[in-house]
Every structure is written in structure tokens, then in C-alpha cells.
Structure 1
Amino acid sequence: MCSLLVLFLISLQWLLILPLSSLGLQLHIQDKHVVMENGIVNVTISNPQGMVTGIRFNGIDNLLEVRNKESNRGYWDLVWEGEGSQGKKGTLDRIETTNMTVITQNEEQVELSFTRTWDPSLKGKVVPMKFDKRFIMRNGSSGLYIYAIYERLEGWPAVNVGNMRLVFKLNKDKFHYMAVSENRKREMPLPDDRLSNRSQKLAYPEAVLLVNPVEPQFKGEVDDKYQYSCESKDAILHGWISSSYSDPPTGFWQITPSNEFRSAGPTKQYLTSHVGPTSLTIVHSTHYAGSDLIMKFGSGEPWKKVFGPVFVYVNYLSNGGDGDPRQKLWEDANKQKVKEIQSWPYNFIASKDFPPSDQRGSISGRLMLQDGDRKIPANRAYVGVAPPGDVGSWQTECKSYQFWSRANANGSFSINNIRTGNYNLYAWVPGFIGDYKYDGAISITPGSHTNMDNLVYQPPRDGPTIWQIGFPDRSAAEFYVPDPDPKYINKLYVNHSDRFRQYGLWERYSELYPEGDMVYTVGVSDYRKDWFFAQVTRKNPDNTYQGTTWQVKFKLNKINKSGIYKLRLALATANVVQLQVRVNNPLQASPLFSTGQIGHDNTIARHGIHGLYRLFNVDLQGSLLVEGDNTIFLTQTESVSPFQGIMYDYIRLEGPPSSVS
């Protein structure tokens, strides 16, 4: 009966199928390896190092890159700096463990633990943390669940941690097609194409121009891993599809059902997949934020956090049939993504550090906006709970957990499966500036539900809007993003909604404004066409750089000379800059306002369109303004690098409460 079913399935063309298990779930403990298999997938892990060395699936001996060392195929790693370290980038630790334990072994699942601890004899040699890497294989499951528990004990030395991730290096002969999202899928160059004899170095190591690629179709393209970054809320599914003619189309996917363990909230940007072929789950990084997101532990500071689980999912299609098999594999992976999200938090995790749903709590409520005289629902607001802190502190919080949801059109929200602990409730609303924080503390206990009823957020406003530029959504995407230099394109982003991901757009500013800086006239200019997406430095003929001054021109019919006007400057990102404001006198020695030097987001070089959100509120004395023509001068003074600059989110000038303009 079973063999007849198999023959029937094989007879269907382009049907997504998985091998039928006849052997059941098995565990083989060898001298240097541990092998888990369930009749669908076979996974080999080095013993006791805890590195995934092989994934056998559907007749393919190994989906991972066999030419790499066993420690460079599937692994966790982090970058760290100890006390007194002078390194610029820190030390990479690939977290080789020293002990393996079988946690669970039955007919339904196997869970393995690979651990390493720290002691004073290791000071300065390895990161002062304890690691527990877990691998779970379930009966009938086409993949592997992976999570890790990182811990520090009291008395251990201080340490800074920059990046943490789960990495897979796939077989480069087989995996050539990458999928990050529905509109970000493409054939990819080979890693060989990045070698010095096939590529040209560009402005930073991650970006190269492919001048002599193995496949001629990639000639003239830029390859840069940062072009495939994703916001945390969207980095749920990504992966690779094989295009080897000797194998049926096969998919390798990482599914992250929850971002509760990722740093810095739902809009923090992370790397996903890139040329290698490499597949990543980044759980903590300083990318698009800089030093504000270095995880800093003081001497003796204890800590523990669970990262994951992440589901490594594999699928394939039989040969023949109509339609694009890659799209079918992508669609199936999306269906699996939905299943994993619906199953979160998993109830089969053995560690007591990962609480199931009945050991968590929930919050619901409704958020309203009080903007001037009107009160409206906070439509599609981002509402979340994070550790107690200042307003907006969630976007640099990285040691604990965060839980977020989107309000509906009525402002109603519900946040489920929150770990026990004490939190603040935070929110921000597209279309309005600033951050909301609920004044009281929120305690989550097992099985608890907290109804917040109606909450009211009053965004910053002192008076009526005189003019505004942009849309307040913490992104610069609505502004003018130029076409790239034809010499530096990524074909994926030609005529794409994410055109800001092209390489070298910062260089276009000096080309578009060769004689002077941008001038924007309120009521005449259109920010979608006339406001360059980033205020960058100007490149001089001698290859040095200089700061830039942008002008906003506007008319006022009447002035309240004794009143205070308010200039709201919402920044989507800043990278080693100083923004100065002057009014009607660009030569004034002291600016009316200066941010001082701010930001290490490095968003311009990484094609990210936003980093950390910053809001500045500037008082303008009415006596500084005149009836008729006025100009606000926005000067960015720092000018060592082409990557120093600002992306604005939104600018608004408000009149005094009783002013008429």
C-alpha cells in the first residue's frame, strides 16, 4: 500500500513532495559526530564541537559546502571584546563546544545539547559566557529546529558583544537562486566571482564590481551583502533554491517565527542571505545603529537569554511539469512559515528557559491619538512591550526580550505570548512624530492577561502646521532616490520599489548639484522629486569632501514677533554628523541650533534607508522671521568620508498657538 502511494505521488508533475519515512527517528552517536535522521532528512553534527557538518536530503549527500572545513558549514558565532581591548572589530568566536548530552530521545523527537562554559583560566582567550546549543529533530519533520542559550554568571569579567548569528554555508555548485521576500528573488553570482581576478574592489570590502564573472550575465553588476538586508519584522523567511541539473529543485530555508529574542525592536535591520551561498539568522548586530547597540556587560554582571528556536526547513519538487519550480518551492516555504508562526511558542522545547504558551502572558488595549483638538484611533500603530526604560529606549535595547504587534484601523492591539517579567509599553504611529510610553510598569505573570483599556498618545505639537516636508514613518523612502550610475547596478533593483538599495547613490548628489547645494521651496518643490534622500558630503575634485548646506525657502504673510515657532526635525538616520540650523542668515557664526556630533548608523553605505530614529525640536523666535521670503539653512558640517550624512524622516514648521501665517 505504501509503495503504491509513492508511485501515485511520483506520477504527479511538479508536485511538492517529501520522502516518506519508513525508518522512523534515529540517533547515531559516533566518535567524532552525532547523526540524527527521520527518513526525510539526515543531519550530522560534530561531537563535541556542535557544528552542523552535513545535511543529507532527497538523495543529495550534503546541502552544505563540503569544501569548507567542518567548522565552517553550519555554526553559531559572535564578535566580542574583553576588558582593555584595543581591537577595532573585536574577536570572532565560532563557539566550539566541549560536551554533548542527549536531552530527549523518543519516538517523537530527539533533542541534543552541546555546551561550553568559562573559567578564569580562559580569561582573554574566549568570551566569558556559557553556551548551550540545542538541536531538535522531530518525527515526520522536513528540517531541524535550532536554538541557543547564552549565559553569564556573577563574578565573570566585563565584555562587549557586537554581533551574534546562526550561519549556514551552502553547496556553491547547487544553490544559485536566492529568495529574501516576494519581490526580492534572483539568480546570484558565485563566491568565485568576488575573487580579485574576477572583481574590482569598491568603496568598502563588502561591495565589489563583477568584471569577469564565471557566468557572463552578472558582468557589470555590483555584489554587496547589505543590499539584501531586511527589517526584523520581515526577516521571517529567506533561503536558497538549487539549480543543479543533476538534482530536482531543492530549497533550503531559515524560518524565524518570532523576533522576540532579536535586539532593538521590529524595524531593526538585519542581514539575511547573500553570495556564498550563505544563509543567516542574525539575532543581534550593530548594523544600522553602531555603538549604541553594542551589548555591554559590566564586571560581574549576570545574564541569560534564549535565541531561537529557528527552523531550518528543506523541500523539493519532482521533475517535469509547467510553471516555475522555484516559485512553487517559495510558496511552499511560505506555507511552512505560517505553520511555524501559528505553533509559536513551541511546546516541545525541553529547556526550562523557553516557556510554553501557558507560562506566558498577554496584553490588549486601544491606542488613541490626541493631535491638537482631534482624537483619532492610532491606525496601524506599532505597539510593544520591552524592558523598562526611557521613551524610545526600545530601539537600542539588546539584552532582553521585546514583544510587538500592529494595532488595527481602530487602534486596538493585542500582544500575546509575552515572557514573564516587568515591562514598559511603547508605541509609535506612522503619520505622527515622536514616541509613546505608558507611564506605569506592567508585570507579566504566567497565564496573566492585562487589559490596558484606552491609552492616549499626544504627539509633539505646539501650534498649527505652517509647512511640512515628507511623511513621518521613520524612513527616507518617500524622498527622491536617484537612478544609480549605470556602471554600478544590481539588476534586481532596477525599476524596483526598493531602488534605494543600489550601490553608490551617495555619489549622485554631487553630480546632480554640481554648482551648489539643494534648495527646496515650500509650495513649489515636491519632496518626492526635489528632496534628495540623503544629505551627504560633497566630493571635491581632489577627492576630499566637504559639508553641505540645504535651504528650505518659504513665505510668511504675517509674523508673531513675540511668539515661538517650532521646527521639528525627525531624522531617519545619522552617521558621524553634526546638523546645524540657521535662519535667514547662513553666515551667522553661531548656529541657532546644533545636534553636536551624532550617529554611527552607517546606513548610507549599507543601502538601508533608515537607522535609529531621532527627533529634535528647535525653538525659533518670531523676531528671526520676516514677512515675505524666509530661509532655513540646514548645514551638515562633518566631511571626512562620503558616508557621513543624514536621512530625514520628516520636517515641520509650526507657528505659535495663536499665530496666523
Structure 2
Amino acid sequence: MRAHLLVGFAAAVSPASARGPFLQQINSTSWIFGNDIWNLTQGQTYATNLQYQGSDAVKGAPGHYAGYDGESNLQYTSAQIVSDAPDYIDISFSSTYGELHWVIYPDLAGAYQYFVNKALPDISIFRTLWRLDPARFTKGYTTTKDGPLPDFSLYANATKVQDETFQLADGSYITKYDFSNYVRERDFVGVYGDKTGSWYIHPSYEYQPGSQLSQTLTVHRESSKGDAVQLNVVQDTSHFRIGNAVPQPVGKIWGPWLWYLNDGSVADAHKRAEKERKNWPYPFLQDEAYHSRGNIKGKLVLSDGRPAAGAAIFLGDTDTSTRPLVQGANYYYTTYADASGKFSLDHLRTGKYGLYAWSNGGALGDVYTNFTTSSVSITKGKTTNLRTLTWEVQQNRTSVFQIGDFDKKALGFRNGGAPRQHGLTEKGPANLTFVVGTSKTSDWYYASSKLGTWDVVFNTTRPNPSATALLSLSLAGYSQSTGLTIYLNGNTTIGTINKDTQTNDPALYRSGTTSGEWRLLQFELPGSNLHNGRNVLSFTVDRYTQWRGILWDSIILEWVG
């Protein structure tokens, strides 16, 4: 079925009379487009009047729009069909900063979308989104949370305590951050009700920045008007981490992803997501670089002879000091090694990459070094075989104790990995005693926040008169302005963690229970300061800030040499 391209400043043909995918210009800054199943009216910034199932699914809400870093929303100056294929049309809406494309098939409820950068400044956020009729879209879905959006009436008498976070009369909280999740773990996200569902399905996250630990917002209730908000954040190097504005190459493509409409069935959205993953990379995208792809495989072995079992693998930028969590100028791929340390990735865009790896816990739970190599080349139609790579890990160490696996996450501790909820730090203890050999990992809490002291009681024997000990603290995150001082046996100061030495990441006060921005702190301890026999290592919080603190990953004490 061929597309209709209707132009002119008077709408001589109504959308209802158009057959198949179409674009119709109304005036210099507005257009109607869609197919026989749905249609949408696009203005200079906002797309409204989403006609689907016989009525408007937007109503009084702003509708669909796109933009970067806050409310810097795109303003469209023109629209055209750039590809008119027998079975679809590709419509480009042009703005100063780039082109937002809608690929429309005749029998598809929804459209594929992608954005091509022309002149974006250095950015930390880029997103498209829907703000929809709250009466029609009452629930939100992510891979980790599925349930009603907070009722709008709750906000009327609630107290705003921080950005889009409100305290109710009973002391509980509602916040947009509770529906956040890890980008590369999700299947799809959306808002839905008894009649209608609106979903974002990403068959690949290659255009998303950051590593496996990258997380962002998804859906929520807008607090001032009550709109159902369906976010599609495709660039985020600020939420839940130390923010970083990233330059974007001209021609970079975010997408394509599928915006999908249905009758509100989550099961149907699941099936559609499976179908999209099988069909990716999409043949309709007219971009040579997008279709130039190759594969990679290799094996990681630790320098102590162990296989890098279960290691997190990240293919990112080459020759850079930028942390994997905030790399965001190019395209990125992730996987995990198998039990033998082998890994592979398919359908990679050709080019040069850096390869990074770190412990994901389990068999590598005591490994706190990272692996990095640059100039990994991906060639079109070929599989790059990296063969066996050696990962240098700490050696000539004798463990005194370890609390928690190194995996850059707070998993294993009390409340670590709990469902996202605001204020969970306040449920942790002020004082705690952990006895090595008796206490369990789950006796340690995921975060230190309250004024007080957490003691680790342990026994050791100095191996030789000149021995030195090394205390390694792996933090899954840190939110200012909590301050903590570390003491040995009550009178020796080992080190501090505070706002003067650590930059803030917002994970803890934005409902995070697993990770924020990882950091490794190490302190040398003269062996003479350790007693032969019983010792106490104390972590004393001496500066308190509500909802903030130290998110733990692992604590390890070793004799060196």
C-alpha cells in the first residue's frame, strides 16, 4: 500500500480519507501523520491528539516531544518523507539539533523511531517521551516494577521533599525514581490501562551510554497535572552517577526503537519485544554504517591462573580515561563471560573499541582490579578473535577478612538490591558489630548513613615483623554530605570518606539500593598497628545528611607480601 504525501496549507484531504501511512502538512509548523490505525498532530514542539481506538489518548496532556538536558525541547522547522518504500514510509522532522524520524508501516499500531544528531551541544541527557491521558493510562511497567502509578489525589496534601519526591501524611513517600531501572537489563517499558497500552521496545541498547551499571528513569506520574509519563531516555550520563556532559558526533544515531500501541496487554507487549529482538538490526534504516557489522570473541584468564568466570564485559571507548559508566559519545556493548572466561558479542558496529572487564561477584568476588585493553577492531562480516587475554589481579596477598563480594553492587547486604524506595537508608542501624567468622554478610547493611559506629571484630597474626596490611574499601556509591572516619583499635585513624574527598552521586537519595558510582579506596596499615589476636576496625559516621550516605560493595583486609 503506497503512502499519501499531502502538502499545502489547507487540509484538502482529512486524515480519515488517507489510506495507509501518510504525512499531511496543515500549515508552516504543524502536520498530521500516521496510518489507518492511529494518527497524530505534530506542532512545532509537541505532538498531540493521538487518535487511537476511536478517541484521543493524549487529551489535556502535552503529548509527545523530544529534547535534551532538562526542558531544552526540539522545535521542528520542516517535515518530509525521506523514504517511500512499498511497505513503509520514513518521515523526518527536522530541527536545528537533529532529525527525529518516524517509520510507519500500514498495519503497525505504533511506529519505529530514531534520532540523527546534527548539532547537539555537549549533553548528559537526551530523551523522547509521551505525556498521556492519566485516566486512560493508570499503570506503569518496567522489567522490575509493574503496578499502578500513584493516584494524582495523593499529591494534593503531600509535602515535596526533593525533586519529584513527596512525603504523605502517613510518613511514606512517592517518587518518580521508584520506576527507574538498569537500562541493559530491561525488556521494555510503558504505561497502560484497561483499554490501551503505550510501550517503548528497544531490541538493542548499543546507542545507550555506559556499562551494565547504567540506570535511568522510565515512567512516572507527573505531579503538577497528573499526566501519565512514558519516558524514553536514550542518553543519560547524570542520573544515579557523577554527572558528565558528553560531546556527540555529527551523524550519531539513537535508535531505532519501537513505539508500540496495544489494548493494554503486558503479555502482548512481551511477545512483541521478543519479535523485535529477532528482527534486529532493522533493514529499513537507510544508513550504511548501521549495517556495517562484525562479531567478537575471546577468553579472559586471571594472572593467578583462574578463569575470569562470570566477569562483566564492556566494549566501549578506546584510549580514554573516561569511566565506563559515563562513556556516551559512541556505541556500546555488554555481556558476561561464561564459567571458563569465554565471551562473545555479535552484530557490533564496525570500528575500534576498548575492552573492559571487572568482577561480577561469585568466583571473582575477591578480585578488585579491572581489565582494560584498547584498539579492539571490529571488521564488517568477520569475527575478531582476541584469543586468550591475561587480566592482572592482586597477588602475594593473604586475606585477613572480606565482607561482601566485589561486584560494584551492594548485593548480599541487608536491603541491598531491595525494591527501589525513597528513604530506605533511614532503616539502617546507627551502631552495628560484625564479628568475622560468626556474622554473615547479610548482617552488614547496604548503606551507612546514621551517626554511629559499625565495628568489625577480627583476629589475625602478623606474618613477619615488617609486614604491612592493606584495607580496600569498594563503594557501590556515595551521596554527599555524609562523613565517615575509619579507626583501628579505637585510637588509630586509618582514613576518611567525606565530601572533601568524594564527589556526589545521587543514587541513594533517588531510591537506589544497588549501585551508584563505583569507587575503590585503599589504605595502608603498618603491621605494628595490628595486634596479634583480637582487633577492631571501626567505621564511624560523624556527619549525617538525611537519605544520603555510603553505599557498600566490599571490604577486604589483606597482609601484603
| Aligned counterpart, 2:467 | 563
Equivalent of 1:254 in 200, 210, 223: 200
Aligned residues, how many? 531
Offset, 1:440? 4.3
Normalising by structure 1, report the TM-score: 0.75
Matched residues in 2 for 1:400 and 1:315: separation? 33
Offset, 1:438? 4.1
Alpha-carbon displacement from aligned partner over 1:139-160 (angstroms, at most 9, x marks no partner)? 322211111122339xxxxx55
| Aligned counterpart, 1:553 | 457
| Aligned counterpart, 2:126 | 164
Matched residues in 1 for 2:495 and 2:355: separation? 35
Equivalent of 1:269 in 215, 222, 230: 215
Query: What letter is aligned with 2:119?
Result: R
| Aligned counterpart, 1:38 | 35
What does 1:402-481 correspond to in 2, within 5 Å?
402-431=332-361, 432=364, 433-481=367-415
| Aligned counterpart, 1:149 | 116
3-state DSSP class of the match of 1:152? coil
Matched residues in 1 for 2:175 and 2:231: separation? 15
3-state DSSP class of the match of 2:203? coil
| Aligned counterpart, 1:109 | 88
| Aligned counterpart, 1:98 | 77
Matched residues in 2 for 1:347 and 1:104: separation? 13
| Aligned counterpart, 1:367 | 300
Offset, 1:202? 4.6
| Aligned counterpart, 1:294 | 245
The question of 1:527 aligning with 2:517 is answered no
The question of 1:226 aligning with 2:187 is answered no
Distance 1:144 1:600, change over 3 A: same
What does 1:390-401 correspond to in 2, within 5 Å?
393-401=323-331
- Given that residues 552 and 632 in structure 1 are in contact (C-alpha distance below 8 angstroms), is that contact kept between their aligned partners in structure 2? yes
The question of 1:307 aligning with 2:254 is answered yes
Offset, 1:571? 0.8
3-state DSSP class of the match of 2:324? helix
- Given that residues 50 and 133 in structure 1 are in contact (C-alpha distance below 8 angstroms), is that contact kept between their aligned partners in structure 2? no
| Aligned counterpart, 2:98 | 131
Distance 1:501 1:593, change over 3 A: closer
Offset, 1:356? 3.6
3-state DSSP class of the match of 1:338? helix
Offset, 1:478? 1.8
Offset, 1:348? 0.4
Matched residues in 2 for 1:302 and 1:631: separation? 53
What does 1:597-636 correspond to in 2, within 5 Å?
597-609=501-513, 610-636=515-541
Query: What letter is aligned with 1:375?
Result: R
| Aligned counterpart, 1:338 | 274
- Given that residues 101 and 114 in structure 1 are in contact (C-alpha distance below 8 angstroms), is that contact kept between their aligned partners in structure 2? yes
| Aligned counterpart, 1:4 | none
| Aligned counterpart, 1:26 | 22
Query: What letter is aligned with 2:211?
Result: G
What does 1:512-523 correspond to in 2, within 5 Å?
512-513=429-430, 517-523=431-437
Distance 1:115 1:434, change over 3 A: farther
> RMSD over aligned Cα, in angstroms?
2.7
Distance 1:438 1:501, change over 3 A: closer
| Aligned counterpart, 2:421 | 502
Query: What letter is aligned with 1:35?
Result: I
| Aligned counterpart, 1:200 | 158
- Given that residues 565 and 620 in structure 1 are in contact (C-alpha distance below 8 angstroms), is that contact kept between their aligned partners in structure 2? yes
Equivalent of 1:279 in 230, 250, 260: 230
Normalising by structure 2, report the TM-score: 0.87
Distance 1:476 1:438, change over 3 A: closer
| Aligned counterpart, 1:15 | none
| Aligned counterpart, 1:382 | 312
Alpha-carbon displacement from aligned partner over 1:226-267 (angstroms, at most 9, x marks no partner)? 111110112340112223xxxxx3221111222211122222
Alpha-carbon displacement from aligned partner over 1:141-192 (angstroms, at most 9, x marks no partner)? 2211111122339xxxxx55332211111111111122212x5211222334
Query: What letter is aligned with 1:569?
Result: L
Offset, 1:304? 4.5
The question of 1:77 aligning with 2:39 is answered no
Matched residues in 1 for 2:171 and 2:525: separation? 50
| Aligned counterpart, 1:214 | none
Matched residues in 1 for 2:191 and 2:382: separation? 41
